[in-house]
Structure 1
Amino acid sequence: MNQVIRFERTGGPEVLRLVEADVGEPGPGQVRLRHTAIGINFIDTYQRAGLYPLPLPSELGQEAAGEVEALGDGVAHLAVGDRVAYAGGPPGAYSQARLIDAARLVKLPEEITDEVAACVMLQGMTVEYLIRRVFAVEAGQTVLWHAAAGGVGQIAVQWLTSLGVHVIGTVGSAEKAELAQALGCRHVIDYRRENIVERVRALTGGVGVPVVYDSVGKDTFEASLDCLARRGMMVSFGNASGPVPPFSPLLLSKKGSLFLTRPTLGDYTATRAELETSANALFERLRSGAVKVAPSHRYALADAADAHRDLEARRTTGSLILLP
């Protein structure tokens, strides 16, 4: 019988339960996928806690790698035995196997392992759309990236540096500062000991940066706006410290006619063409060695609650995966 992580009420990690559930046969346009490695992301904790509501009872997980076990009618671009990966779509990755729309799956290049794919698809494609399409960063520009030692941050720092972009990264400890610097950050700010705005202004000659990438949310939002140059763009793409409180749009004009966007991966991989373009750009960075990723923490599927505790307590750096 297939094992699945499920929750019947929102709350802390303790609401997660390992249950057994039949997978069934794939319908038209679907495949049955046997997972080999499963990605853990902050969005999973938001859904479990109720910040991003899901119909209850619900499953979790939006990213995994695995092998195609069975095909539904109309699936022509995949075959049984294909190694594939996905990011986004309906939750359900925290499982040994699942049914999933074939259109959401991309074939894995031979050089990319299942474990790497499971911890890089969502985070890596997030970096792709943020730096190439939300704000097309150019060589020579300086950007501010919060949580530079986190899973998304590590990929972003490497990718941006390979493009000739100067990264100012924020971190929460000396250990994470060393990691961010080793990955390529030109400057690292320890937000527990330093004033982010003062440092960024000093590093940019008082001008500020053209774009800030902020996945922290409530705790850094105001500082992020104050780090922007005139007509700069604030890219808010996460809520690690909680959601940003309501504010008047007039604040953006007062701080320099700023732009604000709150994008999601789903809206930037909404078509098959967009999905393949994003995944292929990521695979190219991985194959070239410009971006190196490996899971830093592995947990058994049954220990998903422990993984959430560690992630929310910021006891981890890099990428976390579950092994079914």
Structure 2
Amino acid sequence: MKVLVTGAAGFIGHALTRALMARGDEVIGIDNLNPYYDPALKHARVADLAGIATGAFDFLPLDFADYPGLVAALEGRAFDAIVHLGAQAGVRYSIDNPHAYVQSNLVGHLNILELARARGTGHCVYASSSSVYGNSTKSPFSVDTRVDHPVSLYAATKKADELMSETYAHLYRLPMTGLRFFTVYGPWGRPDMALWKFTRAILQDQPIDVYNHGDMRRDFTYIDDIIAGVIAVLDHPPADDGAAKPGGSISPHAVYNIGNNQPEPLGRMIDVVEAACGKPAIRNLLPMQPGDVHETYADISAIQTDLGYAPTTSIDTGIPRFVDWYRTYHQL
């Protein structure tokens, strides 16, 4: 199979591209290598992909929010499916930089939908987010729950992406699958995420900011479990059979949660990081930040039933793997 992967230099995009190449697939990777976090990490991920012997990797440094540039770059390049992971990430950053989210997550998503329509793409898988659930009191979070009350612009753009995808599945019968990711972590992760920040601070004997005084729970999901789910979804496009799909669509459009189905208290997560680092954290207890949520908890029954998805990695295993990678990457 030949797959177009957007955000290929990102955390999940890099891991997915590795996995696709490992099974012999060809990948066209797109990324604009923006400076939201240190582009050196993104360049390192691309360099890592270039060293893989199996499959094939064709990297295009471009911004998919530029539709003429996107079309021109892909002229003469065929692909069977799209996995659209590229986006402006980050809940808190969206409060200060809303225009970046509209450009990347709304304009950019529309461009990918138009590309899929023009090419007659067999399946378009796209990244949504657990953030769409906001402060839902129904736990665990089900894909059949209404998500009409986002608490950040980032979450609102991801919900909008789901709605646009539903429209294209309905109008053009494009097979679409949206994936609501839950707190992904692991080697090659993102510096703006709590695990990276905590690890760096603990190893440098600096304090860590613990929001809501530590009274938070997250459904931490290890990167390998995420990728297993993404590939299972990619290989099984939703049927255009009029039957209701997860998320409620009767068009060829499914929405799945991909999480660990095991929310962990923030305090326990920090305990595991401390043990992996071999030293205690200096905890700076703070109130809840605007746009943040108290708990994320994935109901994964839909993807379990349809595709056999079964995450296997606990934070007791996954966090030490990340800390070991972090030490290696930074030569500590």
Shared fold per TM-score greater than 0.5: no
Structure with more of its chain in helix, by fraction: 2
TM-score by length of 1: 0.35
Structure with more of its chain in strand, by fraction: 1
TM-score by length of 2: 0.34
